[in-house]
Each structure stands twice: as structure tokens, then as C-alpha cells.
Structure 1
Amino acid sequence: MRITLVGSRHFGVTTLNALRERGVEIARVVVADAEDRLAAAATAAGIAVVVQADPKRVTAAEIAPGTDLIVTAHSHAKVTREALAAARLGGIGYHPSLLPRHRGIAAVEWTIKEGDPIAGGTVYHLADRMDAGAIAAQDWCFVKKGETARELWERALAPLGLRLLAEVIDHAKTHGTLPAKPQDEQFATQAPNLPPQ
């Protein structure tokens, strides 16, 4: 299973390390910023790094040849239709909400703002609409009273994302396909950026 990993920051690095520990071949890492810690970690591991020409889009040229699956980990760039077609199985990403609830860049913050007692994470198929592709895997967790978005992310949602990504990749390795269940649009909510507190 050859993967092109698109991502950034701490979650990108932990995803890179977790996949490598599971024996997954990372063919290339794609980042929006050459100074990002994911770029540094990939370079240190001897993995080719490509910096996106446009930080808001991932193109087919940026996907490694022979890629089976594109995985996004803390990426806010749209993976184009052509880029998805360059990978045998397309692409998946992790979103820290129970999609279709809280689609958008500030899902964890909106989970706290809305007072949700339950949160969760979703591995979903990358698609034309952000955070709207079919669900490949999903699980939930409780939100502690008084917990901040950062605390919820670090305690539960980031580890949940690593586990769900590994499960979906294992399924793809075993079956040659990705699980897919359509999102129920009647429950969709948006989670746009919030002003700093």
C-alpha cells in the first residue's frame, strides 16, 4: 500500500509515524509550507517532500506516481478531482467531528461552543465538497464538562483519528477497497472559523 500523505503540524507528524510503524509505505509527503514540522519529519525519515504550488489546492502532479491512497492529516487544502484520480483508491481524510455535524475548519471549537456532550471523529472519502464525502469509519467519545477544544483534541480526538485511519488503511490493504456510507445531509451543520477568544 503506497500512500501520499498530505498534511501539516503535529497531527501530520503523528500520522506519518503511526503509519510507518504499521509498515505502510509513505511514497511522498505533500505540505503547504516547506517550514512545517511534517516536512522536517519526512525529510529526516528520507521521504520525498513536495510543497504545494497553491496552499489551498493539491494537484495531480503533487501526488507520488503509483500511489494507492491519498491520506490527509491536518490539511485545509482541497485535493482536486484530478489528484484523487491519480491514486488507485482515491483519498481519505480525518475530520474531528461526527460528520455530517460540524463540517468545516473549526469542528472541535464548535463542538465545545454548542455544548455537545458527545464528540467524535470521522474518516471520510475526499470529494468535491469539503468534509462531505462518504464515511469510511466513525467513532465517538464523551466531552468532559469544562473541557476546552484543545484538551478534547489532545485527550480523545487526535488518538481516535490515528486509530480510525489505521483501521481504514488496514481494510484497504486486506480488501482492496474502502468502506463507504453516504452522509445524511439532514444532519449537516457548518463549523466556520470562530473569532479568537
Structure 2
Amino acid sequence: MRITLIGSRHFGVTTLNMLREHSVDIARVVVADNEDRLAATARAAGIEVVVQANPKLVAASEIAPNTDLIITAHSHARVSREALAVSRLGGVGYHPSLLPRHRGKAAVEWTIKEGDPIAGGTIYHLADRMDAGAIAAQDWCFVKKGETARDLWERALAPLGLKLLAEVIDYIKVHKTLPAKVQDEQFATAAPSLS
């Protein structure tokens, strides 16, 4: 299986490491910033790195040839419809909420702000609308009293994302396709930046 990984920062690096442990071919890493730690880690591993021409949009030309699956890991860029079309299975991303709840950049912050007793993570199909694609995998965790968004992310949600991505990779290896369950729009909520 050939993967193009789009991402940044620590979660991008831990996703890259998890994919390497699952013996997939990481054909290319796409980053918005050439100085990002994901770019440095990929180069050190001998993986091709491409810097997005537009930090808010991933173009088809930036996806590696013969990509089976695009994975996003801490990327705020939209993957264009044309980019998804050049990948055999399209693309998936990890969102740190129980989609369709808390769609948006500040999902973990909204989980804390709204006092949700339960949080979770979702591997979802990349689509035109942000965080609205079909669900490939999902799981939940409790939120501890007094926990900050960062605490929740580091303790539970980042590890959950890696576990779910690994499960989806293993599913694809067996079934040659991606699981897909349509999100129930009646439960959708927004999680815009709180700044």
C-alpha cells in the first residue's frame, strides 16, 4: 500500500512512525512548512518531502504517483477534489471528536468548554465539507474533571488517533477498501477557533 502523508508537528511525526511500523510504503510526505519537524523526520528516513504551493490547499500534483491512500495528520489544509481523485482510495484524516460533533479546528477545546464527559476520535473520509466525510473508524474515551484540552489530547486523543489509523490500515490490507458510515447531520456541531 502506497501512502501520501500530509501533516505537521508531533502528531504528523508519530503518524509517520506508526505507518512505518505497519510496513506501508510512505511514498511522499506533504507539508505546509519546510522547517516543520515532520519534514525533517521524513527526510532523515529517506522519504520524499514536498512543500505545498498553497498552505491552505493540497493540489493533485503534490500527491505521489500511484498513491493508494492519502492520510492527513495535523493538517489544516483542504485536500482538493482533484488530489483525492488521483489516490486509489481517496483520503482519510483523524479528527479528535466523535464526529459529527465538534467539526472544526478547535474540537478538543470545545469538548472542554462544553463540559463533555465523553470525548473521542474519528477517522473520516476527506470530503468537500470540513470534517463531514463518511466515518471509517471511531472510538471514545472519558474526559477527566479539570483536564485541559492539551491534557486530553496528550493523554487520550492523540494515542486514540494512532490506534484508529492503524485499525483502518489493517482493514484496508484485508478488505482492499475503506469502511464508510455516513455522518448523521442532525447531530453536527461546529468547533470554530476560540481566539
Q: TM-score, normalised by structure 1?
A: 0.98
**Partner Cα distance (2:29, 2:173) in 1:** 20
Counterpart for residue 184 of structure 1: 184
User: Which amino acid letter does the alignment assign opposite residue 116 of structure 1?
Assistant: D
Is it true that 1:156 corresponds to 2:183 in the alignment? Answer: no
Question: How far apart, in 1, do the equivalents of 2:77 and 2:173 lie?
Answer: 26
The residue number in structure 2 matching 1:131 is 131
SS of equivalent residue, structure 2 residue 120: strand
* Percentage of matched positions with identical amino acids: 84
Segments of 5+ residues of structure 2 without an aligned counterpart are none
Secondary structure, counterpart of 1:71 in structure 2: strand
Cα distance in 2 between the residues matched to 1:34 and 1:122: 28
Aligned to 1:10: 10
The 5 A counterparts of 1:36-185 are 36-185=36-185
Measure, in 2, the Cα distance between the counterparts of 1:102 and 1:151.
18
Which residue pairs with 2:31 in the alignment? Answer: 31
SS at match of 1:61: helix
Q: Deviations over 1:14-41 (max 9, x none)?
A: 0000110111110000000000000000
One-letter identity of the residue aligned with 2:18: A
| Whole-angstrom distance in 2 between the partners of 1:50 and 1:10 | 18
Matching residue's letter, 2:12:
G
Distance 2:80 2:104 in 1: 17
Please give the per-residue CA displacement for 1:58-115, whole angstroms capped at 9, x wherever unaligned. 0100000010000000000000000000100000000000000000000000000000
Q: What's the CA shift for 1:173?
A: 1.4
SS of aligned partner of 1:42 = helix
Q: Report the residue type matching 1:128 in the other structure.
A: D
| Distance in structure 1 (CA, Å) of the matches to 2:69 and 2:18 | 16
Amino acid at match of 1:5: L
Counterpart residue type for residue 43 of structure 1: R
Q: Supply the distance in 1 between the matched residues of 2:139 and 2:30 (Cα, whole angstroms).
A: 27
Task: Give the alignment's TM-score, normalised by structure 2.
Answer: 0.99
- In 1, the alpha carbon distance for the partners of 2:176 and 2:126 equals 17
